[in-house]
Amino acid sequence: MNILVVRNDKLGDFITALPTLYVLKHHNPQNRIIALVAPLNRKLAESCDFIDEVIIDNGEDILALALKLKHAHIDASITLFSNTRVALVQWIARIPIRIAPATKIAQIFYNRRITQRRSEVKMGEFEYNLQLTRALFPEISLDFPKPLFHFDEDIFKTFCEEFTITKPIIAFHPGFGGSSDANWTLHEYVELVWIAQEFESVDILMTFGPDEEKLYHEAQELVDERRVKLYRSRGSVVDFAALLSRFRLFVSTSTGTYHLASASGCETFTFFGDSRFASALRWKSIGEESKQHHFMIPLEPKGRAEMFEQVKQELRNFLSAIA
């Protein structure tokens, strides 16, 4: 059976789809698993051995995208996050079985509509995604390995040589690309970096995305680069994931890099908005739960300050334990 899985939005959202793709492939290795993804997720999708074909949604018109899907000879589709455009595309492509959550007006274009009520946040986003596979295979196992990604050491070895890394890496990622509901300021991240500097047993890294040049230069003015390495992402998302898989701890807000780090096996300190929609319950990662440390940042100043003190103490405790 040729099965299409649709998750054509941001990095973190796509990572929540990976367990779904994995269990569909492992339910029956004869299944041909096809992923419809945004361009930024192409390399990551192509690196997964449980995805047989990757179709890129470049934002083209509906008929052009429908033609791409028609050429893939798809028997069934599972749309993890729907809108009218992707729903209509699948209807035009005449995919026989079209599964999606029963939300929004777009549901009229699907012939298997599953009531989930994700707004109630009874489980994580990736768990809601997994549940949809049972509309196609009721007996499917929803188990998947953690971590889901595995990489060779070549990229990490080169990185260590370039940055003179010899100890376990504690990494701080202050940026978020506008995709998070809560984060600390750069100065607050630097306070956390100062705590890490108290421990000679670790190397300290601050990481920045390719569009965070301004933030990178601001950080240069605030830290001692003899002790703290500053790293601007280069290469593909897969290259960065290979580095993250070797880090000891990754500290960031709830954004795509957090999901990438956790899926790669790295332990995480992660900051979430103080609401059910933005909460850790909904946006926990697909990695090992025991390695995920979640902090909800209150909106009001007093609660925010108290939470920051808690984060500082837990960071000290973590670093003391691995020293």
Dihedral sign (CA 272, 274, 279, 284)? positive
How many other CB atoms are found less than 10 A from the CB of residue 170?
A: 28
> And the tokens for 133?
């596979």
What single DSSP character describes residue 225? T
pLDDT per position as a tens digit, 213-269: 999 999 999 999 899 999 998 889 999 999 999 999 999 999 999 999 999 999 999
Give the pLDDT confidence score for residue 45 in this predicted structure: 97
- 80, 132 in Cβ contact below 8 A? yes
pLDDT per position as a tens digit, 277-317: 888 999 999 999 999 999 999 999 999 999 999 999 999 99
Distances in Å between the alpha carbon of 296 and those of 277, 305, 310?
Answer: 12, 12, 11
Distances in Å between the alpha carbon of 252 and those of 61, 184, 295, 311?
Answer: 36, 9, 10, 12
Mean pLDDT in residue range 74-79: 98
pLDDT per position as a tens digit, 87-120: 999 999 999 999 999 987 889 999 999 999 888 8
Domains of the chain: 2-135 (3.40.50.2000), 155-322 (3.40.50.2000)
